[in-house]
């Protein structure tokens, strides 16, 4: 029996941690402005990207995410002064841990996206979905 075409194509699940003040409004504006981006993302709003503990990313993988995007304000726009900088430092450590656990580093991404940069949000999501689609499912699921 032939499989339906949709059953053969892997559709990644991407968890997006988006800062309440910049990236979440960018995601919202992308929708309002009818910018197309894949429906593969599940957005989790956080007050600051500095609040996204690396363990949250690992938990997302444990729960079946195929990729995780952490997004927030540019350094100078962070509402908590040093949150975005802290997130950038944490991200370097996260990359090392993810690699140590056997995940490809391309499964995670950090982006600084202001509320006005909604086209960038849509572009980043498209790129990430394409990239993770090429990598295949989360190795924990295989």
Residue 60 or 70: the one with the smaller Cβ distance to ligand FES is 70
Contact of 107 with 67, CB cutoff 8 Å: yes
CB of 5 to ligand FES, least distance (A): 40
Residue 90 corresponds to which tokens in the numbers above?
């944490």
Binding mask 66-105 for ligand FES (x = CB under 6 A): ------xx----xxx--xx---------------------
Query: In this structure, are strands 67-72 and 41-46 parallel, antiparallel, or unpaired?
Result: unpaired
DSSP E strand boundaries for 21-132: 41-46, 67-72, 108-112
Interacting residue with ligand FES among 50, 52, 69, 111 (CB under 6 A): 50
CB of 70 to ligand FES, least distance (A): 10
Q: Sign of dihedral through CA atoms 14, 55, 92, 135?
A: negative
Residue 122 corresponds to which tokens in the numbers above?
């849509």
Residues 4-43 that bind ligand FES (CB under 6 A): 19, 21-22
Binding stretches for ligand FES (CB under 6 A): 19, 21-22, 48-50, 72-73, 78-80, 83-84
């Amino acid at each position: 029996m032939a499989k339906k075409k949709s059953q053969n194509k892997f559709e990644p699940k991407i968890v997006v941690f988006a800062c309440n003040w910049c990236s979440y409004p960018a995601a919202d504006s992308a929708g309002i402005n009818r910018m197309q981006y894949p429906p593969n993302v599940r957005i989790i709003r956080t007050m600051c990207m500095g609040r996204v503990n690396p363990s949250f990313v690992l938990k997302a993988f444990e729960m079946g995410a195929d990729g995780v995007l952490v997004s927030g304000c540019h350094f100078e726009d962070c509402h908590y002064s040093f949150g975005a900088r802290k997130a950038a430092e944490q991200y370097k450590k996260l990359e090392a841990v993810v690699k140590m656990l056997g995940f490809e580093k391309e499964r995670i991404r950090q982006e600084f996206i202001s509320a006005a940069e909604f086209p960038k949000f849509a572009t980043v999501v498209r790129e990430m979905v394409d990239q993770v689609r090429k990598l295949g499912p989360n190795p924990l699921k295989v």
